[in-house]
Amino acid sequence: QSVLTQPPSASGTPGQRVTISCSGSSSNIGGNAVNWYQQLPGSAPKVVIYTNDQRPSGVPDRFSGSKSGTSASLAISGLQSEDEADYYCASWDDSLSGHVFGPGTKVTVL
Amino acid sequence: QVQLVQSGRELKKPGASVKVSCKASGYTFSTFGVAWVRQAPGEGLEWVGWITGDNSRTNFAQKFQGRVSLTTDTSTSTAYMELRSLRSGDTAVYYCARVSITSWPYFDSWGQGSLVTVSS
């Protein structure tokens, strides 16, 4: 059981906007930054958002992140078939003195 | 470009130890930390721990304390993870990742993963 909570699945048709939530507490998201990782089937994870809302070079601007209080969200606008993957939020947890991942959200493009 | 290349798959018996390597290239190895993350079959990501590139500091997830060792060899730009007293629940793909620190740490490049299977 992760200290971060994500919905198990999300879906949308091509071109739609999909939003994934990540809920935590004051010991993790509330006091630390959130990163988001995309894992395509059979591949290693890849960072798509770091420090709450920063997008690494090479990541399409369709991906955006935000954080408010003890929750964060990842939005994918203009959904494309290649966005079908598992998405994980992650943060540092002060109580655990460790890095924690959310359980992951599987995004399906209908 | 930054590249992390990990050692191959391992098959171990319960109670044994495994050592996974992660060879880095494309950057100054000692100036970045290396994290280890594992993923059991069909499950999510789990942070194991991390180490500074110069081998000076480590930090582990509580559940692995006393059972895992992380080291680096700056002469070969290689990081190592050793996990001892293996049990079936340790069967997973183990990833290394470079730790990038801007204002907060994140994992900006990942190895391809090393499958460790624990079975009698």
Burial category of A75 from C-beta neighbours within 10 Å (exposed 0-12, middle 13-18, buried 19 and up): middle
Residues A88-109 pLDDT 10s: 999 999 999 999 999 999 999 9
| Alpha-carbon span A22 to A34, nearest angstrom | 9
Can you spell out the DSSP letters for B16-53?
--EEEEEEEESS-GGGSEEEEEEE-TT--EEEEEEE-T
* CA angle, A43 then B22 then B79, to 5°: 140
Cα B110 to the center of its chain, rounded Å: 10
| Alpha-carbon span A98 to A92, nearest angstrom | 6
| Chain B residue nearest residue A35, CA to CA | B106
If you average pLDDT over every residue of chain A, what do you get?
A: 97
Which one, of A86, A63, A82, A71, lies nearest residue A29 by Cα? Answer: A71
Is B62 close to A88, i.e. CB distance below 8 A? no
**Please, what is the end-to-end C-alpha distance for chain B in angstroms?**
40
Please list the alpha-helical segments (H only) found in A4-89: none
Q: What is the largest CA-CA distance in chain B?
A: 45
| pLDDT over 90 at A78, yes or no | yes
Which one, of A92, A74, A94, lies nearest residue A83 by Cα? Answer: A74
| Alpha-carbon span B106 to A65, nearest angstrom | 14
What string of pLDDT tens digits covers the 120 residues of chain B? 999 999 999 999 999 999 999 999 999 999 999 999 999 999 999 999 999 988 889 999 999 989 999 999 999 999 999 999 999 999 999 999 999 977 788 999 999 999 999 999
Q: What is the pLDDT of residue A52?
A: 97
* From A37, A44, A51, residue closest to B102, measured CB to CB: A51
Q: What is the pLDDT of residue B53?
A: 84
Which one, of A35, A38, A48, lies nearest residue A91 by Cα? Answer: A35
Q: What is the pLDDT of residue B104?
A: 85
Q: What is the pLDDT of residue A85?
A: 98
Secondary structure element (H or E) that encloses residue A2, with its range: none
Collect all residues of chain A within an 8 Å Cβ-Cβ radius of residue B44: 2, 86, 88, 101-104
Please list the alpha-helical segments (H only) found in B55-111: none
